[in-house]
Structure 1
Amino acid sequence: MPAANPLDGFTVDRTRIRTVGRDLQRPECILAEPDGTLWCADARGGVTRIAADGSQRFIGQRADERFAAGAGGTAEALEAKLTTGTLPNGLAFAANGDILISNFGTDLLEIMTRDGQTRTLYDRIDGQPIGKVNFVLRDSRQRIWLTVSTRVNPWTAAAASRVCDGYIAVIDERGIRVVADGFYFTNEVRLDAKEEWLYIVETTGPHITRMRLDESRADGVRLTDREVFGPSHLGGSPDGIAFDSFGNLWCTLIMVDQLIALTPEGDKRLLLDDGDPAASRNLREKTAAGTLTAEDMQRARGTIAPWMASLTFGGPDLRTVYLGSLLGTTIPCFRSPVPGLPMVHWQTAS
């Protein structure tokens, strides 16, 4: 008989939600370390480090003069981009502890030391501008997975009209290459526990897709067997995902501000609904009709993590869930009945 799912009967108790951090700006993505330290993206152009004791420090990006002629051009050119348009979005730890940044503002994949020195890793692919970089993930083989939501400029046009030009790139010892494309606004990606499947958020899908990793080829990993995982319409726009140790895939639905989970069988569970019912209904109806406006989106938000965008598991037992958001100024958190699946940096921490 299969083991009972630890999410059976579970919903988030709103009275037990607490918050971490203060005066944050667009804490879209959060990284948790085993010692209790949190790192979150910050719209001021960098990251905020929150120590286990609650103290916090903003670390702003600055061009690393040691790499004046890197992949992104001169240090002066990078400094200009960082000054005028940086918007850190997805974060991941590099193998040496530096922070990989998918910069939604500068359209660059960057790497930043923990004191802020930043250089560009990639700004082009196949000779073309890389596009609207969204999320970055490192796997156990030290490959970097990068999602690009769209090449349409402005990106808001792609989001509003369901343009299907998002793609996934992988970076390994051979460099950077596209491994899958034709996605509806590619967002976060995660690997399952065995790293056999890559799960892909298609925000305007609105659904989760998964693809199998084919490691058999001499020219590097490929993605195959594409399929929708779970419902073809999730009832809102998925943004962030994370696995727990049982195999449930937790997922945020931005603007309707719901937290859901997809069981290993693909069944949807509603864990938290913080959306405004009328505004969420209006959002769904106008999205389906293609008449959604910025005003409609602004009205659709919750109060816990407004425009709920991501989640990560942390705490000494990986049972604390932290929620990232686009409009929040703190990081809400609560206890989970099941630990999260340890990320690569957690597994390799000394």
Structure 2
Amino acid sequence: MANPIDGFQIDPDGLRYVGEGLQRPECILAEADGSLWSADARGGVVHIRPDGTQRLVVQDQSDSFGQNSDEARRFTEGTLPNGLAFDRDGSILISNFGTDRLERMQRDGRSEVVIDQIDGQPIGKVNFVLADSKGRIWLTISTMIRNWMKAISPNIADGYVAVMDENGIRIVADGFRFTNEIRFDATEEWLYVVETTGRRISRLRIDDAGQATHREVFGPEDTGGFIDGIAFDAYGNLWGTHVMSDRIFAITPDGDFRVLLEDFNPQAAQEMYDAFAEDRLTADQMLACGGQIAPWFASLTFCGPDLRDVAIGSLRGTRIPIFRAPVAGLPLAHWTG
């Protein structure tokens, strides 16, 4: 069977957009009814309904601490919702890059802290969360450095992957270069791990007990950019984004790397990567990068009734671009379409 992405390129003129006034729509969840849920820097998520209308749901802990209490206000102080996942009860798990913890939000905003420590120590910069078919919750921690900008370095590899199950939370593998998004393959045999500053994707073979039994690089040792998000299609291609040097790519099951869309200033991107290689990268050099479609591509989410629409999350965009793929996405654990 031929790979359905053979010869495929994303046409920028064919993009459609949903949402408006969004703030840092980094991660997007899709439901079979056509709803999208987007992380939002205002302290919660935006629910974009199938008809295009939207509603900001802000995290609220007043039920736990009392209306307008100091504790309730502190709950969202410095908040920065990042990765999202649906839990089995339909609530939304939020890996909060600002508060350094995993949180759970009901769809009306009622929220609670799930975990903020591991082995009695602060958990670190929680980046992404993923639920599997067995009910386990997988987390990525990008770095243990509070000021995460200092971890954008070729010399830092303190990220890790953790799992929460009936036995609590434990570290599965560590030593990653700014751990970012993770995804399982169709059989949940391999867990694929983005190493943003490693500019590569590693994968872990996961046994029935949730232990990593093998680790290797998948695809190129260096993809040529800072990877942020990944998503599988039903054929087995692993789609991904480069953030700042905005690019969408796919890695075939055989490890072949294919660029599907580019939207960035090559000179600014080269200056950024040269500075990174010399460990002198600044925020200004990063901010000089990014395209026009949705600056700083962050994630990809297969959506729509047939899972052939693909939504692009971003760190600096205010709306969500969507393109049509030649193949359906691999359904996530919550999908019931």
TM-score tier by shorter-chain length is: over 0.9
* Preserved CA contact (<8 Å) 1:67 1:119: no
Aligned residues: 336
Unaligned runs of 5+ in 1: 69-74
SS of equivalent to 1:44 = coil
Structure-2 residue corresponding to 1:107 = 100
Identity, % of aligned pairs?
A: 58
SS of equivalent to 1:195 = coil
What's the C-alpha RMSD, in Å, of the aligned pairs? Answer: 1.5
SS of equivalent to 2:268 = helix
1:130 pairs with 2:123: yes
1:222 pairs with 2:211: yes
1:15 pairs with 2:13: yes
Query: What CA deviation, in whole Å up to 9, does each residue of 1:162-195 have, x standing for no partner?
Result: 4111011100011111111110000000000000
Structure-2 residue corresponding to 1:308 = 297
Distance 1:163 1:25 in 2: 29
Distance 2:175 2:59 in 1: 32
Distance 2:63 2:124 in 1: 25
Tell me the CA shift for residue 161 of structure 1: 4.8
Tell me the CA shift for residue 292 of structure 1: 1.6
Distance 2:217 2:100 in 1: 28
Query: What CA deviation, in whole Å up to 9, does each residue of 1:199-237 have, x standing for no partner?
Result: 00000001000010122xxxx320121000011111100
Tell me the CA shift for residue 288 of structure 1: 1.7
* Preserved CA contact (<8 Å) 2:154 2:277: no
Tell me the CA shift for residue 153 of structure 1: 2.1
Compared CA separation, residues 190 and 78, structure 1 to 2 (3 A): farther
Mapping of 1:112-191 within 5 angstroms? 112-191=105-184
SS of equivalent to 2:77 = helix
* Preserved CA contact (<8 Å) 2:154 2:198: no
Tell me the CA shift for residue 270 of structure 1: 0.3
Distance 1:272 1:82 in 2: 39
User: Of 234, 237, 243, which residue of structure 2 is paired with 1:254?
Assistant: 243
Tell me the CA shift for residue 80 of structure 1: 3.5
Structure-1 residue corresponding to 2:32 = 34
So what's the TM-score if we normalise by structure 2? Answer: 0.97
Tell me the CA shift for residue 295 of structure 1: 1.2
Distance 2:223 2:74 in 1: 36
Query: What CA deviation, in whole Å up to 9, does each residue of 1:138-173 have, x standing for no partner?
Result: 000000000000111211101235411101110001
* Preserved CA contact (<8 Å) 1:261 1:269: yes
Structure-2 residue corresponding to 1:296 = 285
So what's the TM-score if we normalise by structure 1? Answer: 0.93
* Preserved CA contact (<8 Å) 1:162 1:185: no
1:200 pairs with 2:193: yes
* Structure 1 ranges of 4+ moved more than 3 A: 75-78, 80-83
